[in-house]
């Protein structure tokens, strides 16, 4: 295949790697791809917790008269443990 031919035409594996890396970098620059470095989170944990609490508060203020058994996601997948919890707690 072409990759094997490309590598075979280089002096050694290190040269082949660096050459291929530069080729990929030029390709990504040409087509404006950006490198993304994974991060645990962009916001501090405290801010995330506050956001979660605020969202939950707003939800229950809006739907406080709705019973939990009426709040369902019909397309959600539930494993056996969740089904048991659903049937015992929400459908009382």
DSSP conformational letter for 70 = G
Residue 56 and residue 83 in one domain: yes
Residue 49 and residue 86 in one domain: yes
Residue 4 and residue 32 in one domain: yes
Residue 51 and residue 28 in one domain: no
Structure tokens at 38: 């994974």
Structural domain including 28 reads 1-38
Structure tokens at 61: 């203020």
Query: How many structural domains is the chain composed of?
Result: 2
Residue 62 and residue 31 in one domain: no
pLDDT class of 83 with cuts at 50, 70, 90: confident
Residue 28 and residue 49 in one domain: no
User: Is 56's pLDDT higher than 80?
Assistant: yes
User: Is 62's pLDDT higher than 80?
Assistant: yes
Check: pTM over 0.85? Answer yes or no: no
| 17-38 pLDDT, tens digit each | 999 999 999 998 888 887 777 7
C-alpha 42, offset from chain centre: 13
d(CA 20, CA 9): 12
């Amino acid at each position: 295949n072409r990759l094997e031919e490309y590598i075979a035409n280089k002096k050694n594996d290190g040269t082949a790697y660096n050459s291929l890396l530069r080729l990929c970098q030029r390709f990504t620059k040409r087509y404006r791809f950006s490198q993304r470095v994974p991060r645990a989170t962009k916001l501090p944990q405290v801010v995330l917790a506050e956001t979660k609490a605020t969202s939950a508060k707003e939800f229950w203020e809006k739907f406080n008269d709705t019973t939990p058994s009426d709040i369902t996601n019909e397309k959600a997948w539930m494993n056996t443990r969740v089904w048991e919890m659903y049937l015992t707690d929400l459908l009382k």
